[in-house]
């Protein structure tokens, strides 16, 4: 079994994002970045599949981005990925473009399972996995909270839905996107970081896989409106009066 794990470099979840003065983007200089948390969960699940005794030949971590994105690939290698591939481009990453590149890549590398985060925390688009499955013509299961590898080239995936849990079985190759409840990722240890330096990290222009021009233009970015300060009221009657004044009651 070959497992492909797409990952993305994002601003760290603990950082308060600031909009540039010209509103053309967000401030990234001097800002902590890292591996998208949902993608880290997907990588952890790939490692657990191997550790459970399934014959995983290779776990390949891949990202589409600038040269700085090597940072998250090194992290993926330190966590346990066998190889890493940077599809380098200076263009902004959007779901449709990334899905087209990944489609060309899976046709070349022929993975049995594409395991990725359900969304990236920077744009929250939740589109890349579904677009890839559609282009590839293979089954998909999104927002997975439990994954089992079955005999006969099938997987059983459980996902949370509005009315409870839904369990699906699909044939491989397939695309599976990970939810937060799938697992808890391991910590990166210093010896693993040192060993990761010896693992192969390949860099290829994303244009080789048909990225092309990104058909989208970012016009402006705006921060969310500031929340008004809370108001202290002396008693319940004053609270009811304040709510009526604001039209809530």
Q: What is the torsion angle, in degrees rounded to the nearest 10, for the CA atoms of residue 154, residue 159, residue 162 and residue 166? A: 40
Question: What are the Cα distances from residue 18, in Å, to 1, 112, 121, 124?
Answer: 42, 40, 15, 17
Residue pointed to by tokens 């997907």: 42
From the CB of residue 13, how many other CB atoms can be counted at a distance below 10 Å? Answer: 11
CA dist 42 and 48 (Å) reads 10
Number of domains composing the chain: 1
What CATH code is carried by the domain that includes residue 136? Answer: 3.40.50.620
Residue pointed to by tokens 């192969």: 200
> What pLDDT does residue 225 have?
84
Spell out the residues 6+ positions from residue 168 whose beta carbon is closer than 8 angstroms to its own.
141, 156, 157, 158, 159
> What pLDDT does residue 172 have?
95
> What pLDDT does residue 195 have?
87
* Burial label, 66 (beta-carbon count in 10 A; 0-12, 13-18, 19+): middle
Taken in order 10, 11, 17, 21, is the CA torsion positive or negative? Answer: negative
Greatest CA span in the chain, whole angstroms?
69
Q: What share of the chain is helix, strand, coil (3-state, %, to 5)?
A: 30, 30, 40
> What pLDDT does residue 214 have?
67
Residue 200, domain extent: 2-245
Show pLDDT as tens, one digit a residue, over the chain (249 residues): 999 999 999 988 888 888 888 888 888 888 889 999 999 999 999 999 999 999 999 999 999 999 999 999 999 999 999 999 999 998 878 888 899 999 999 999 999 999 999 999 988 889 999 999 999 999 999 999 999 999 999 999 999 888 899 999 999 999 999 999 999 999 988 888 888 888 989 999 998 888 776 677 778 888 888 887 888 889 999 999 988 988 888
> What pLDDT does residue 17 have?
87
CB 118 within 8 A of CB 179: yes
Q: Which of 199, 210, 208, 142 is nearest to 170 (CA)?
A: 142
């Amino acid at each position: 079994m070959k497992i492909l794990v797409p990952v993305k470099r994002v601003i760290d979840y603990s950082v308060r994002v600031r909009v540039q003065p010209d509103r053309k983007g967000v401030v990234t200089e001097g800002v902590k970045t890292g591996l998208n948390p949902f993608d880290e969960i997907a990588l952890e699940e790939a490692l657990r599949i191997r550790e459970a005794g399934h014959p995983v030949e290779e776990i390949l971590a891949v990202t589409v981005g600038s040269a700085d994105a090597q940072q998250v690939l090194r992290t993926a290698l330190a966590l346990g990925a066998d190889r890493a591939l940077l599809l380098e481009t200076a263009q902004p990453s959007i779901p449709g473009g990334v899905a087209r590149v990944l489609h060309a890549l899976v046709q070349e590398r022929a993975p049995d399972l594409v395991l990725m985060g359900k969304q990236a925390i920077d744009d929250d688009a939740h589109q890349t996995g579904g677009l890839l499955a559609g282009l590839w013509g293979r089954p998909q299961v999104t927002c997975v909270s439990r994954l089992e590898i079955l005999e006969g080239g099938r997987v059983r995936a459980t996902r949370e839905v509005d009315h409870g849990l839904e369990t699906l079985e699909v044939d491989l190759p397939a695309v599976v996107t990970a939810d937060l409840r799938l697992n808890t990722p391991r910590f990166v240890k210093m010896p693993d970081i040192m060993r990761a330096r010896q693992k192969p990290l390949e860099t290829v222009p994303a244009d080789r896989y048909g990225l092309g021009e990104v058909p989208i233009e970012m016009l402006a970015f705006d921060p969310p409106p500031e929340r008004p300060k809370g108001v202290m009221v002396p008693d319940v009657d004053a609270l009811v009066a304040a709510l009526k004044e604001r039209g809530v009651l």
